[in-house]
Amino acid sequence: MDEIRNYTMNFGPQHPAAHGVLRLILEMDGEVVMRADPHIGLLHRGTEKLAESKPFNQSIGYMDRLDYVSMMCNEHAYVRAIERLVGIEAPQRAQYIRTLFDEITRILNHLMWIGSNALDLGAMAVFLYAFREREELMDCYEGVSGARMHATYYRPGGVYRDLPERMPNYHESPWHKGADLKRLNQWRQGSMLDFLDAFSEDFPHKVDEYEELLTNNRIWKQRTVGIGVVSPEQARAWGMSGPMLRGSGIAWDLRKKQPYAAYADVDFDIPVGVNGDCYDRYLVRVAEMRQSNRIIRQCIEWLRRNPGPVLLESHKIIPPHRADMKEDMEALIHHFKLFTEGYSVPAGEVYSAVEAPKGEFGVYMISDGANKPFRVKLRAPGFVHLSSIDEIVRGHMLADVVAMIGTYDVVFGEIDR
């Protein structure tokens, strides 16, 4: 009788509009995975080398395009690295605005995750529900920066500008008219803080709707309970962070353990899982959305009470005001010099990390005193997590690999860099 051998199959490459261009080579015994070999590099853009070839201030926009679902959190790590090298700190109001938008970004990320992961496992409706709330928060990105995704809103020394006093309104169109138009614009009659106040009051009810569709859904639990179990020891050994680590019961969160921005002054809890499976990581992310909403409400309250500057008045790294440029030729020259040549940063090295929605996103930067970094190395949580896929999916069925890739919440901009 002929010996029965395992066979190999390609899983991917996937379309870049999905989780990214991942190619898995799976060694299968029937429908059971014996080995998984992830192949990356199909989306490589050389971000780190590009950042080393440009002045410091020209690479903030590259950070948005790494994990393109966690845009402002990436910016935060990068501008904090520059601030620490220069020896400056953003004004307190800017720190609260950064905290506010980091948490808006966390909700945006988890909404995309819950929608796409549910879609991967066969649930269609959640995707449409989640994008309903994403649209509202994308308007906040657009309100402060003019861009709905790649905001480039954070700056060394603060943020680009203060929160707008007016939110954009929907105009009548074939898609929005009458009572529907009135409902859409109901929250948009005041400032951005008024809008976020109304949104954050309503959002917990929306999370209840997602949970009603999934949390006790028999099919959802069959696809996620006991699947992709990561023990606390494995999570530590692989260097996991974020929901992947907290889902295994380890309460590690940089916002609590190494506070930055205004996180030391706001009150929130760290959700943790028990079993370390796909279902626990789902519960952790849902709970994180509720905690982010809680932080947003505290930031709104503080920002209402405390006006003030949102950007340092240091013309070494901050461009002069537009009014000054109209009257002062020296200010105009300084403006052009700053945006073409940039500014020199004192020699030194620094590692700056933030608790991004997917885990610890870090920027290791070396300056040799020039106007561009000597070395930039990015620590992407998705890269670390994907490294463990062979160990985690062995012995699972082929369909469980889909659930596992979904629970990693990978985005290939940061993995391939």
Q: Are 346 and 86 in contact (CB under 8 A)?
A: yes
Residue 101 in domain: yes
Q: Give the confidence band of 1 by pLDDT, cuts at 50, 70, 90.
A: very low
Q: Which residue's structure tokens are 């879609």?
A: 119
Q: Residue 379 and residue 362: Cα distance in Å, rounded?
A: 5
Cα 194 to chain centroid distance, Å, stands at: 24
Between strands 375-379 and 32-39, the pairing is unpaired
Cis peptide before 168 (omega within 30 of 0): no
Closest CA to 255 of 221, 299, 197: 299
Q: How far apart are CA 45 and CA 61, in angstroms?
A: 14
Q: Is 327 among the domain residues? A: no
What total of structural domains would you count in the chain?
Answer: 1
pLDDT at 2 over 70: no
Q: For residue 344, give the 3-state DSSP assignment.
A: coil
Domain assignment present for residue 1? The answer is no
Q: What are phi and psi of 387, to 5 degrees?
A: -60, -25
Reported confidence tier of residue 23, pLDDT bands at 50, 70, 90: confident
400: closest CA among 232, 225, 254, 255? 225
Nearest Cα neighbor of 405 from 119, 44, 68 is 119
The pLDDT tens digits of the residues spanning 300-342 come to: 999 999 998 888 887 777 777 777 777 777 777 767 777 787 7
Does residue 41 register a pLDDT over 70? yes
- Quick one: tokens of 352? 């700056």
Contact at 8 Å (CB) between 33 and 394? yes
The pLDDT of residue 3 is above 70: no
- Residue 60's closest CA among 347, 384, 317? 317
Amino acid at 389: I
Distance CA 71, CA 53 (A): 22
Percent of the chain with pLDDT over 90: 43
Question: Does some domain include residue 391?
Answer: no
The 10s digit of each residue's pLDDT in 155-210 is 898 899 899 998 888 888 887 777 778 878 888 888 899 999 999 999 999 999 99
Please tell me the chain's helix, strand, coil percentages from 3-state DSSP, rounded to the nearest 5.
50, 10, 40
Of the listed ranges 15-19, 196-200, 391-395, the least confidently predicted one is 15-19
37: in domain: no
Query: What does the angle CA 286 – CA 288 – CA 289 come to, to the nearest 5 degrees?
Result: 65
Residue 393 located in a structural domain:
no
390 domain residue, yes or no? no
Which domain CATH number covers 77?
1.10.645.10
The Cα–Cα gap between 190 and 119 comes to 36
* Band of pLDDT at residue 233, cut at 50, 70 and 90: very high
Contact 156, 82 (CB under 8 A): yes
Whether the predicted model's global pTM rises above the 0.75 cut: yes
In a domain, 417, yes or no: no
* Over residues 264-280, mean pLDDT: 92
H or E element at residue 375: strand 375-379
Instruction: Please give the single-letter amino acid code of residue 315.
Output: H
pLDDT computed for residue 18 by the predictor: 54
Count of positions (residues) in the chain: 417
Contacts of 213 (CB under 8 A, 6+ apart): 118, 123, 125, 126, 129
Does residue 16 have a pLDDT over 60?
A: no
339-357 pLDDT, tens per residue? 787 788 899 999 999 999 9
High-pLDDT (> 70) share of the chain, %? 96
C-alpha pair distances (Å), 26 with each of 31, 157, 382, 404: 10, 48, 20, 14
Q: Is pLDDT at 381 greater than 50 in this prediction?
A: yes
Q: What are the tokens at 99?
A: 């905290």
Domain residues for 78? 47-87+89-311+346-361
Residue 154: name the closest of 87, 86, 85, 81 by CA. Answer: 81
